[in-house]
Structure 1
Amino acid sequence: MNTISPLGPNTPRIALIGECMIELQQRADGSLQQSFGGDTLNTAVYLSRELGDGATVDYVTALGDDSFSDAMCQSWSEEGIGLDMVQRLPGRLPGLYCIQTDASGERRFLYWRNEAAVRDCFTTPAAAPILAALPDYDVLYFSGITLAVLGDEGRKKLIGTLIEARQRDARIVFDNNYRPRLWSTVEQARTAYREVLPYVDLALLTVDDEQALFQFSDCAAVFAAYEQIGTPEVVLKRGAEPCLIRCGGESFEVPALRVEQVVDTTAAGDSFSAAYLASRLRGASPAEAAEAGHWLASRVIQVPGALISRG
């Protein structure tokens, strides 16, 4: 397998696969602030900001032909994200979710996504050239949510794409993001994860999700499982606790940054992943990359919503 390392003098091409939804942020007075968000989209935005002109960042998804989908594409373009891999399906709509936060900043999500256009992302006739183009990217990034929303047929096509991409020396990056309500059963989710994990070069894991999905007893058990799979680089994200990393036969931890007031933890893990990956692609060590991830995540959790203002 490939390790995540600098990709040389050429501008790397990175494709992130997943779903962006209409985001409603519920405020204390009950009013709603509308924006857009989704785990891989959040990472795409922060990755584009981190790498700037040093990389090409494209988003792979399916949207409708409605005004919300138009606005999404406009906002992505403004962030420097390429739209060539975005399908627009007539008569369809994007998904929608609402974020509710408690006094400590922890969030609860309410979803409306069963008929979202992304569920047909890899099954339409228009998907064929997109699937054919993906193996030529330098980095492919997807998540557990991607696996869930693509469905059985879409997942099979994704796996075929991952196999071909790795044969062409692409790096495969996976964020586990397990959401039980997106799966019919935990066994279905476990099967889907186990089918893709052998092709992953960098696993960005949230420890709570790993324990919920695979019933691991502790972090050591998580690392042991991924060592058996053969994943060369594994990062365990643990919120305010130090992240744990195993790479190149070495294990170490990197402390998180202390934040006095947490406003909203939405996209904390997504932003960490973006800064970590960007740093590794620029040549930083795993420890340096984790420090960058913690720094960006510490900024994100101090404001409401998934995406903070640029600057």
Structure 2
Amino acid sequence: MNGDAGAPVIAVAGDLVEDIVVWADDDIAYGTDTRSRIFRVRGGSAANVATALAVHGGRPRLLTRVGDDGVGERLVSDLERVGVETRAQVAGTTGTIVILIDRSGERTMLPDRATAKEVEPFDPSWLDGASRLHVPLYGFETTPEAAVFHGLCAEATRRGIPVSVDASSAGLITWLGSERVRGILDEIDPQLVFANDDEAALLGLDLVEPPAGRTVVIKHGGDPVVIRTGAERLEVPVPPIGEVTDTTGAGDHFAAGFLLAVAGGAEPADAAQRGIAAAARVLGQPGAHVTA
């Protein structure tokens, strides 16, 4: 599963946690039992993107923080085994996200990010040799975290490394406030912004022309992906997809496919097609991972 040794290194910064994925076999019976299947897998948006990059032929490097415990040790070992170069701060307790998947395949997430929220400034050398830096918005949840990730993005920009940001979560945007998130984007000034339709609506991404040099990519499930660059607006159709049993990680695989394509010189519309194909591979499996 290791990527092409000649491929550019794409750095991804953010959470590595354990996902406990619960597939409900029936409608949720609140206050009593519901038949289900439960899976334990690697999680965290940043780790999911890094893993997807490896699966789809890239050379990912994850910058993260995990607990000083058996879970964290296992997660890092698993990542390295699948081809993700991992640079991790180690302290505290590894985070956990419980992901409840209903019978339609839609997910509800219950995160406890634990030590991930205590991240300290990353060693600047961890960006050495990177061609791009991708950062999920989750890294800006608290003020101390935000300072770390602002600093990392500034270091990448100083080095001429393009930055991309994933809006990550409508719930997170609502909690932080849309105005604050727009301010974060203005400060980072990423080359690429990924969002789904709910996140884009909260941030007004499809209503306002992006700043010069920025491309906004908006995912609409099975409807066309919208790409906005300056005054230009493109729609990229999504081919029919079979049964969807679990949407966890689809956005992360889309981002990985898109980033690999643009790193190879593809135009945004072609990159979106590669992202769509990458996301389709994960929709029928538990959690955010597929095999090569």
| TM-score for both structures, normalised by structure 1 | 0.81
* Alpha-carbon displacement from aligned partner over 1:131-186 (angstroms, at most 9, x marks no partner): 454376321110111211xx212312322332232122111011111353x57944
1:255 aligns to what? 237
Q: Is the CA contact (8 Å cut-off) linking 1:26 and 1:33 kept in structure 2?
A: yes
How do residues 20-99 of structure 1 correspond to structure 2 at under 5 angstroms? Answer: 20-27=16-23, 28=25, 29-52=35-58, 55=59, 57-83=60-86, 85-89=87-91, 92-99=92-99
Residues 16 and 163 of structure 1, relative CA distance in 2, 3 Å threshold: same
Structure 2 distance, partners of 1:266, 1:76, is: 18
Asked if the contact 2:99/2:107 (under 8 Å) is kept, the reply is: yes
- 1:144 matched to which residue of 2? 137
1:257 deviation in Å? 2.0
Q: Secondary structure at the match of 2:286?
A: coil
Does the 8 Å contact 2:170/2:198 carry over to 1? no
Counterpart CA distance in 2 for 1:96 and 1:299 is 24
Is the Cα–Cα contact under 8 Å of residues 37 and 307 in structure 1 kept in the other structure? no
CA distance in 1 between partners of 2:50 and 2:166 (Å): 13
Higher strand share: 2
Unaligned runs of 5+ in 2: 26-34
Given candidates 186, 189, 196, the residue that maps to 1:197 is 186
Contact 1:135 1:168 in 2 (8 A): no
Conserved? CA contact 1:135–1:170, under 8 Å: no
Counterpart position of 1:241: 223
**Pick from 273, 277, 281: which aligns with 1:299?**
281
Aligned amino acid, residue 166 of structure 1: T
- Structure having the larger proportion of residues in helix: 1
1:209-220 equivalences in 2 (<5 Å): 209-212=199-202, 214=203, 216=204, 220=206
Question: CA–CA distance in 1 between the matches of 2:229 and 2:6?
Answer: 25
Q: Which residue of 2 aligns with 1:120?
A: 118
Equivalent-residue separation in structure 2 for 1:241 and 1:183 (angstroms):
23
- Structure 1: runs of 5+ lacking an equivalent: 1-8
Q: CA RMSD in A?
A: 2.4
Query: Any residues of structure 2 matched to 1:276-287 within 5 Å, and which?
Result: 276-287=258-269
CA contact (8 A) 1:46 1:274 kept: yes
Q: 1:254 to 1:152 in 2, by over 3 A?
A: same
TM-score, normalised on structure 2? 0.86
Other-structure match for 2:10:
14
Alignment map for 1:170-185 (pairs within 5 Å): 170-180=161-171, 182=172, 185=175
Question: How far apart are 1:32 and its partner, in Å?
Answer: 1.9
Measure how far apart 1:33 and its partner are.
Answer: 1.4
Instruction: Give, in whole Å, the separation in 2 of the partners of 1:36 and 1:24.
Output: 9
Partners of 1:152 and 1:286 lie apart in 2 by 33
Pairwise CA distance, 1:208:
0.7
